[in-house]
């Protein structure tokens, strides 16, 4: 009788161990899948970033002077956002100076000047927000 009880206890322990092992294996599989999903997402984000950069550079080639395009290309290779912000602010400052020398009596010039100043402020705000998030 005692051996039957011992056999039942041992069988229950064996089944319990199998369940524990199965649960651990399930956790490991889930963790591996989660890791793979994370790697895939990082790859997708990297590819999307590269596509956005390539698109922006092609568009810039169509409208910007060569020196600006060259600077931006160099900055994107090194992922230099600080340098890019500086370049943008320089460009905005040049626009503000050019607009201030134009005839201010034309209402469209006032609108453009206001838009350029707004753009400059928004860029500064973006810079401040990015700095506070780091």
The model's pLDDT over 99-115, given as tens digits with 9 standing for 90+, comes to 777 766 676 777 787 77
Q: What share of the chain in percent tops pLDDT 70?
A: 85
81-85: average pLDDT = 80
- Res. 134: pLDDT tops 60: no
Domain that holds residue 59: 1-63
CA–CA distance, 49 with 46 (Å, rounded to integer):
5
Q: 57 and 99, same structural domain?
A: no
- Res. 84: pLDDT tops 60: yes
Domain count, the chain: 2
Domain end: 63, 89, 116, which one? 63
pLDDT at 99: 77
Q: 69 and 59, same structural domain?
A: no
Q: 128 and 99, same structural domain?
A: yes
Which residues fall within 8 angstroms of residue 104, CB to CB, at 6 or more apart?
Answer: 110
pLDDT at 104: 63
Domain end: 10, 44, 63, which one? 63
- Res. 42: pLDDT tops 60: yes
Q: 69 and 28, same structural domain?
A: no
- Res. 79: pLDDT tops 80: no
């Amino acid at each position: 009788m005692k051996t039957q009880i011992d056999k039942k206890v041992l069988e229950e322990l064996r089944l319990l161990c199998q369940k524990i092992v199965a649960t651990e294996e399930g956790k490991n599989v889930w963790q591996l899948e989660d890791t793979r999903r994370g790697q895939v997402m990082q790859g997708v984000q990297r590819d999307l970033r590269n596509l956005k950069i390539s698109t922006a550079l092609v568009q810039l080639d169509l409208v910007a002077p060569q020196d600006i395009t060259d600077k931006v290309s160099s900055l994107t290779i090194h992922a230099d956002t600080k340098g890019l912000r500086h370049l943008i602010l320089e460009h905005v400052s040049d626009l503000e100076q050019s607009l201030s020398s134009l005839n201010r009596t034309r209402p469209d010039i006032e609108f453009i000047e206001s838009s350029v100043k707004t753009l400059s402020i928004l860029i500064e705000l973006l810079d401040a927000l990015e700095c506070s998030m780091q």
